[in-house]
Copies of this chain bind each other. A is one copy, B any other.
Amino acid sequence: MNSFLDSRLQRAFAPKGIAIVGATEDRNKVGGRPLHYLQRFGFQGAVYPINPKRPTVQGMIAYPSLDALPKAPDVAIVAVGQDAVTGVIDQCAARGVGTAIVMSSGFGETGAEGVSRQAALVAQAQRLGVRLVGPNAQGVANFQTGAVMNFSTMFMEVEPADGPVAIISQSGAASVMPYAMLRERGVGVRYLVASGNDADASVCELALTAAADPEIRVVLMYIESLSDPLMLAEVARLAAVRGAAVIALKAGRSAHGAKAAASHTGAIVNDDVMVDAFFERHGIWRAQDVHGLVNAVELYLAAPPRVAGRLVVMSHSGAVGVLCADAAEALGLPLADLSPSVVQALAGIMPSFATAQNPVDLTAALITQGGMFADTLGALGADPQADMFLIGVPVAGEGYDVVGMARETAHFAASRGKPTVVSAPQASVREAFHAAGVPVFGHETDAIDALHQWSRHGLLVAQAAKRVAAPAASTPALPRGNAPLLSEADSLALLDKVGIPTVPHRLCRNANEAVAAWQQFGPEVVVKACSAAIPHKSEHGLVFVGLTTEQQVRNAWNACVERVAAMNFSMDGVIVAERVRGRREFALGVRQDPLFGTVVMVSDGGKYVEALRDFVALLYPFCESDVLAKLQDLRIAPILAGVRGEAPVDLDIVARTAVALGALAAAHADRIASIDLNPLIVGEQGQGGWAVDAVIERQGVNDAIH
């Protein structure tokens, strides 16, 4: 039994009995439409319209109140005025109703008064042991049983059909848009949930409830505000165990979009970088729009996503091959190099002017030599280099045996077990392949996008399953004190204790100590004032670089003393550090996100860190190989690999440092708010690197800093 699952919500997704509080005769009202749907879509359980003023509603016996019901229903639809909702929740508790789907509006979506009304409602429900979907929810629909407790008009317009897909959305509109698109493609949908204000049972917990159904293969989510990522991680984990997949559209990634989302739901704004890192970490595919949410669903239904790279394209048009090659390369999806034996076999099958290479061009000879299609597919399927197949059918008509091609393709996919899709602009061609069970797409880019997503998602899921928390290293204590920041010396000392290589340096309390340090670390040193109150030393003229004489060191000491005194701060001394030189500077940062936990950012360093925004983010825990893989996403990755005869940059030290920073911050999550390590100067491969400056910020201490 999964401890995250709530049996009350599970019963609400597959109820035996449903009450509708506020049931009305008019099927175009919120309290009338679910009742209409329950009858229309053949719900076989008990339906209890609650309406004290009428003996029947929509031809069914009505009850005056919940406590008058002959049996406790699993769920109550609440479609009453906002002021009456709390009374209904009391009745739900009294009658033993597990879940209330609150369609009533006038809560968190309507300003301060509504927000406090909503908080009181949730507190009441939790106290009484009633789970809430909503308020302001469009509701829950189960098209397997006909338990359609949802007031969308869409189900009158677009006929439902049961299928292995769940759509769980915070928005009503964003729940029915993917529904309409999937139904148009002939894909069935079992659950459709729009959770509205998401006040008690969140969109993530509702998705978990759907994912617990062993027949659900794809969970589609629309999220504007992610409040409980741990629950979402559990959705992904539970789905992955069964080979089901989670695809989520997290909207509000743009500045305007986030503003609109906040205005729409009044909810928190997520840091989009964290969302990306979190989804990737847990093997959740992030769709960019509603089309992206549904585009690959048929491919997922054909087989769970898995790591599979190399694509073979086959068509009777050279242009389709060119278009597919362009689309694949744009996504980094490799085309398979056909094995020599397969090329030879193809040469025997295809006409002399056809192309025995990938993309495979059967040419219009397909019309006169229909057998070529199956023969070529057979030869290609035997190639161990080929992982996935795209068959382009740009045109058909008289002379083309489309039904036969569809049959051959379905047979091929089933016998080879390799994902095989078809792209065709003609609806009639797509229908023939769809009828044979082959995933179909309207054009090449959609098909390639889907194949890329499927295989890349497979990789993410595999990585998420493998990933284990690094063994907890012994964690050094933070120095005592309650200044908001640790001084540079204290910060570097702490980094040193967790194994991060720091620049050779010493904290010097007087000029003579500084000169002695210069003699130790010279000939060239850097002198910096050390004060926990002044993290931005450069801006205050407190950093002196390239010092090579005793006099320069003494001058620097004097300048630090004078300037810090002029700022009315105290100084711990000056840091005298060796002037180290490497191949590349990095900046590493750690933040504690209240939702997502410890996140480590690794950025190209130097003066323009913020302006160029060339960084990657990793959620802790992660290991060194995770960092090395992510560093390939940096724009400067080609440089790091070594160009123009240069040796590669020592990325191992970057990876080790990132892991050590993450572990340190995670272990002190309640005491370390952030770490800025900038720069980490890194040498060539094997030379290591040096943390040259660092600032550690304590958690919960907020004095002014300068």
Q: Does A83 interact with chain B (Cβ within 8 Å)? A: no
- Tell me which residues from 410 to 464 in chain A have a Cβ below 8 Å from any Cβ of chain B: 425-428, 442-446
Q: A152-B395, A612-B635, A612-B639 are in contact. Are A319 and B264 (CB under 8 A)?
A: yes
Segment at the B interface, from A4-12, A170-178, A616-624, A691-699: A170-178
Candidates B172, B327, B607, B635; contact of A289 at CB < 8 Å: B327
Shortest Cβ distance from residue A89 to the other chain B in the assembled complex, whole angstroms: 22
Q: Is there an interface contact between A335 and B256, defined as CB atoms closer than 8 Å?
A: yes
Q: Is there an interface contact between B174 and A317, defined as CB atoms closer than 8 Å?
A: yes
- Tell me which residues from 146 to 171 in chain A have a Cβ below 8 Å from any Cβ of chain B: 152-154, 156-158, 169-171
| CB neighbours of A178 from chain B (8 A) | 425
Q: Does A329 interact with chain B (Cβ within 8 Å)? A: yes
| CB neighbours of A321 from chain B (8 A) | 260, 264
Shortest Cβ distance from residue A406 to the other chain B in the assembled complex, whole angstroms: 15
| CB neighbours of A261 from chain B (8 A) | 318, 322
Q: Is there an interface contact between B156 and A397, defined as CB atoms closer than 8 Å?
A: yes
Nearest chain-B residue to A151 (Cβ)? B364
Candidates B152, B174, B322; contact of A264 at CB < 8 Å: B322
Q: How many copies does the complex hold?
A: 2
| CB neighbours of A359 from chain B (8 A) | 256, 260
Nearest chain-B residue to A154 (Cβ)? B395
Expressed in whole angstroms, the Cα–Cα distance for A260 and B320 within the complex equals 10
Q: A328-B256, A610-B643 are in contact. Are A289 and B444 (CB under 8 A)?
A: yes
Q: Is there an interface contact between A177 and B443, defined as CB atoms closer than 8 Å?
A: yes
Q: Does A241 interact with chain B (Cβ within 8 Å)? A: no
Q: Is there an interface contact between B254 and A325, defined as CB atoms closer than 8 Å?
A: yes
| CB neighbours of A442 from chain B (8 A) | 181, 291
Q: Is there an interface contact between A395 and B290, defined as CB atoms closer than 8 Å?
A: no
Expressed in whole angstroms, the Cα–Cα distance for A610 and B176 within the complex equals 48
Other 10 A-B pairs with CB < 8 A, given A260-B359, A261-B318: A28-B367, A28-B399, A153-B399, A171-B319, A174-B320, A176-B395, A181-B442, A253-B326, A611-B644, A612-B639
Q: List 16 A-B contacts (CB under 8 A).
A: A154-B426, A157-B397, A173-B316, A173-B395, A176-B394, A180-B425, A184-B427, A224-B322, A254-B325, A256-B325, A256-B335, A257-B323, A260-B322, A288-B445, A291-B445, A608-B638
